[in-house]
Structure 1
C-alpha cells in the first residue's frame, strides 16, 4: 500500500511541482522598459570607463 502511495506522489507530484515552478517564474519575470535599459547601459559604460583608468 505504502509503495503505491509513494509511486503516486512521485509520478503525479513531480510534474505538478514543475508546472507550479514554471508558472511562478513566468508570472514574476519582469521586463525592463526603455528608460531602465538606457540607465543600465549608461552605468555599464561608466564602470568600464572607471576600470580603464
Structure 2
C-alpha cells in the first residue's frame, strides 16, 4: 500500500510541481517600462555608433 501511495506522489507531484513553478515564473516576470525601454534603446544605439567608428 505504501509503495502505491509513494508512486502516486511521484507521478502526480512532479508535473504538479512543474506547473506551479512555471505559473510562478510567468506571474512574477517583470517587464521593462517605457522609460527603461527608451534608455535601453539609447544605450544600444550608442554602442552601435561606437562600433562603427
TM-score range, shorter chain: 0.7 to 0.9
Deviations 1:8-39 (A, max 9, x none): 12221112111111122122211111111110
Q: CA RMSD in A?
A: 1.6
CA distance in 2, matches of 1:6, 1:49: 61
* Corresponding residue pairs, total: 53
- Matched residue SS, 2:35: helix
Segments of 4+ moved more than 6 angstroms: none
TM-score by length of 1: 0.76
